[in-house]
Each structure stands twice: as C-alpha cells, then as structure tokens.
Amino acid sequence: MAPVTLRAVSRTQGNNAALKSGQIAPEGFALDWEEVPVLVHAFRRMVREQAYDVCEMALTTYLCAREHGVPFTAIPVFLVRDFHHGAILVNRNAGITHPRDLEGREVGVNRGYTVTTGVWARAILAEEYGVDLSRITWVLSGDEHVASYVPPANVVPLPAGRKMEDDLAQGRIPAAIGVATDSPDVGPLIADPFAAGLAAFRDRGHWPINHLVVVRNDVLAANPGLAPALFHAFAASKRAYLDDLHAGRIEKPRPSTGCTRRWRR
C-alpha cells in the first residue's frame, strides 16, 4: 500500500534533519515538506486556516489556540527548548538595577502578548524575582496569532510608525523582551543569563519548551496510527543527530547564551 502523503512544515535543524531529508520516514506515511522562511508565518496560517496537516508550533500559541477551539492536537515532540533569562533587555540609562524596577513602567514585547518567549520571560520575572506583572504596562509590536484572544487591560500596542528596537535603544521604553538591537546602550537585565538559566534548570528543572508539533484533528481521525508514527520518526531523527554529534561527524552547536537576540556587553 502506498504511504499516505501529508503536507508538513518544520524548520530544518539538527534534530529533524534526517526526517526532512527522507533518510527517516514515519511508518505508513510520507511527509511533503513546505519551506516557510519565516516560521511564525506558518504558525499563523496553521492557527487561522489549518493550512497544513503537520506543523511545528510555538507552545503558547498552541495552548491559546486550543483554548479558543482550533482543531489540532500536539504530540510530545519538542523541537526547540531554551532558556529565556537573556531575552529581557534594558536600556542601561533607565536606572533599572533589579527586575522589580520594571514595575510602574512600560516594557516592550516583540510581536504578541502570547508569544512564547514573552510568556516564559514574564514567568521568570514573576517566579524568580517577585515582579508584580500587573504593575507593568506591556507594549506589543504586533498582534496575536489567535485573532480571538483578548489580552489583559495592561497590554497596549506600540504606536503606529515606531519600532520597538529603536524605542528601546533611544530610551523611550526602558526594557523589552525578545527584540534585536546592536545598541551599546542596551544589555540584558539579568546578569550572566546563561548561568541564570542553568541555575533554574538545576534548582527547579526549568527548561522551557518553545516549539512542539501539532496535527490537524481531522487528519488524526482519518489516520489512527499517525501520532505514534510521527513521534517515533522524530525520535529516530533526533537519535541519528545525537549519534553524529557523539561520533564527531558534525560540529557541536554552541551553547545558548540565554538570549537569541543581539546585544553588546
């Protein structure tokens, strides 16, 4: 019997490379991979249109989408995990020396309020540093993937025509989460963010999930064996990647700094 072909999206990286190359395939299925240069565009299409059969998806987008009735289901394949202590940047001239100094101020959030990095960063501020998140005005540079989501009252849009990274560099906002800037006036709020992430992992097992994999519910219903087949294929692809790393056949990735955005010390 010919395999069932499914339309799929996932950004190519070490742990899924063997699956995307066709070296490994889910038993009984073939994945027709579509390349989406800006992955968040695929997230949005999957949430709003259910445009794919199988799709990489940001964790908090998935949770929000499910709460709002989007008919897809995640499988426990965690393609991206990272620390987020370094995602919180501050203007060095804003007089912020402790995370609680953010209270009573505006703090930018790249894209929407439910973006995964923003959610994890706010959790760090609240759980590790005792920040009262309700006392901060959160300023968004974009909208939500889930169009029906309504953010809290202390969430506002960035004024039209302004760029968040410019506002941060020029001090119009004192801090922002998940933005990119090379300004020498901007640096991480939390000193040595990678060490802080490792400490959170050691102390509480805090190793945040960023991306997982979702499958449309109608596709799952029509193919009862699909979920385990996908899980085992992704797991085999990851094992192949780890085998190559351990054998020295590929270069080891550099450790995360705890911040995927640009900043200068």
pLDDT tens for each residue of 24-33: 999 999 999 9
Distance CA 56, CA 214 (A): 6
Share of the chain above pLDDT 90, in %: 91
Say what the pTM is: 0.91
The answer to whether 217 touches 71, Cβ cutoff 8 Å, is yes
Q: What is the pLDDT of residue 261?
A: 39
Distance CA 230, CA 74 (A): 11
165 is a domain residue: yes
pLDDT digits (tens, 9 = 90+) for 114-137: 999 999 999 999 999 999 999 999
Full residue range of the structural domain in which residue 14 is found: 4-82+208-246
CATH of the domain at 56: 3.40.190.10
How many CB atoms within 10 Å of residue 222?
11
Judgement on whether residues 141 and 117 belong to the same structural domain of the protein? yes
Distance CA 118, CA 60 (A): 10
251 is a domain residue: no
Distance CA 50, CA 38 (A): 17
Position of tokens 């919180």? Answer: 88
Average pLDDT (219-224) is: 97
Q: For residue 211, list its beta bridge partners.
A: 58, 80
258 is a domain residue: no
Judgement on whether residues 159 and 184 belong to the same structural domain of the protein? yes
Q: What is the pLDDT of residue 255?
A: 60
Please determine, for residue 105, whether its predicted confidence score (pLDDT) is greater than 60.
yes
* Pairing assessment for the beta strands 175-177 and 106-109 based on DSSP bridges: parallel
Judgement on whether residues 198 and 150 belong to the same structural domain of the protein? yes
How many structural domains are present in the chain? 2
Share of the chain above pLDDT 70, in %: 95
Structure tokens at 125: 């501020």
Who's near 89: CB < 8 A, 6+ residues apart?
A: 168, 175, 176, 177, 179, 181, 186, 187, 188, 189, 259, 261, 263
Please report the sign of the dihedral spanned by the C-alpha atoms of residue 62, residue 41, residue 261, residue 33. Answer: positive
Judgement on whether residues 184 and 89 belong to the same structural domain of the protein? yes
The answer to whether 230 touches 237, Cβ cutoff 8 Å, is no
76 is a domain residue: yes
Average pLDDT (202-229) is: 97
Who's near 173: CB < 8 A, 6+ residues apart?
A: 91, 105, 106, 107, 108, 139, 164, 167
Judgement on whether residues 225 and 166 belong to the same structural domain of the protein? no
pLDDT digits (tens, 9 = 90+) for 43-93: 999 999 999 999 999 999 999 999 999 999 999 999 999 999 999 999 999
Q: What is the pLDDT of residue 162?
A: 95
121 is a domain residue: yes
